[in-house]
Amino acid sequence: MCGRTACTLGQKEICMACSYKSSETGKYVQPEWKDSTDGKEYCPSYNMPPTHHTPVLISKMHMDKTADHSERLLQPMVWGLIPFWHKDADPQSHGLSTINCRSEGLMEKKTFSVPIKKGRRCVVVADGFYEWEKKKTGKQPYLFYFPQRRGLSVGDESTWKKGYNQELWSPKDGWKGPRVLTIAGLFDVWKSPETEKLMYSYCVITVPSSPKISWVHHRMPAILDGPEEVQAWLNYEDVDASNALKLVKPISNLEWHAVSPAVGNVKNDSVELVKHYSSTSGKKLVGSQKLMSAWLQKESPKKSPKKEEPEHNAMKQELPDEWDADGNFQEPPCQGSDHEDEEPPLKKPKAE
């Protein structure tokens, strides 16, 4: 995973989607929402790049030592870890080398070993992540996500947002909307030397890709598949770092479909970006084994106003190196550890 997700649920819905069973009652409860400490807000987006605030799950014990180990908080954090020891008054000066961290050698690097030793494990929540396949004719983006219930389309609320609130969530059954990705991450807390405001930021842990998706890239985010894995990753009191890292592994329980190349420009942000896309020749592009049969053929989506945070923070004044001056994606190597030579992707599986 090298730097783009879709995270389209609003605050209310994402709390529902992240509900979990209470260890006391056995019923589903929603995590408490905690506003970011730096005054910035989470703004849902079909095209979420680093430096934006995205929702992150953490154990409530980080804020309240008397909390039960199963209790959780949802808090917007900046994507791109800023270590607590960063001395410059400008957080942007740390750069974007920490949006990802490789699982291999994670414990040997101060930037990442300190947070994990402090129990600062988090779960990054998103509809899905984008990855680009290199082709002779250019780069084709794909959206990867968990398998969904029949009739639900990830990122497209028109397929599930009907009986809002009561039908979508209940203490008995939990969330009935689309299943969100739960990605293993690390977070840290940086204090501004000028204002003393705290900034929470995170990085995504990456692992070698599973054989099922290695045709598109040789790295993938470390995805926690199921409530037990999420709980174990967050429970830093009972699950130490060495055992928690055993959860960080490639998985194959993913589906995907081709999306419009327009997602390569961070200025584009509309539901068209997550819809199934076919090339102009009409040839259907590869998806997973359980993709819905209906493929939508759309023109490149029109630009729509970007859902900006109320005020740009300092980290958003310049586009990262992976984008050109017009906001077009320039695929970078995975970041956050020693860069290694790109491995050739394996042959892509045939579409069924």
- Among 102, 106, 78, residue whose Cα is nearest residue 92: 78
Interacting residues of 103 by C-beta distance below 8 A, sequence separation 6+: 205, 206, 207, 222, 245, 248
* Tens-place pLDDT, residues 251-288: 999 999 999 999 999 999 999 999 999 875 333 444 44
In a domain? residue 177: yes
In terms of average pLDDT, the best of 149-163, 234-248, 320-334 is 234-248
How many CB atoms are closer than 10 A to CB 117? Answer: 12
pLDDT digits (tens, 9 = 90+) for 283-309: 344 444 333 333 333 334 444 444 443
Active site residues: 2, 131
Q: What is the pLDDT of residue 96?
A: 66
What pLDDT is stored for residue 311 in this prediction?
33
**Domain count across the chain:** 1
Residue 299 lies in a domain: no
Residue 325 has pLDDT above 90, yes or no: no
Q: Which domain holds residue 231?
A: 5-134+155-254+312-316
pLDDT band for 87, please (50, 70, 90 cuts).
confident
3-state helix, strand, coil split of the chain in percent (to 5) is 15, 25, 60
| Average pLDDT value for residue range 308-325 | 39
Residue 174 lies in a domain: yes
Residue 289 domain-assigned? Answer: no
- pTM for this entry: 0.81
Cα distances from 345 to residues 98, 137, 171, 204, 219, in angstroms, run: 24, 16, 44, 21, 10
**pLDDT at site 86:** 85
Assigned domain for 93 exists: yes
Q: Is residue 141 part of a domain?
A: no
In 3D space, the residue among 201, 168, 189, 204 whose CA is nearest the CA of residue 15 turns out to be: 168
Residue 233 lies in a domain: yes
User: Does residue 292 sit within a domain?
Assistant: no
Look up the CATH number of the domain holding residue 250: 3.90.1680.10
Nearest C-alpha neighbor of 2 from the set 264, 244, 346, 286: 264
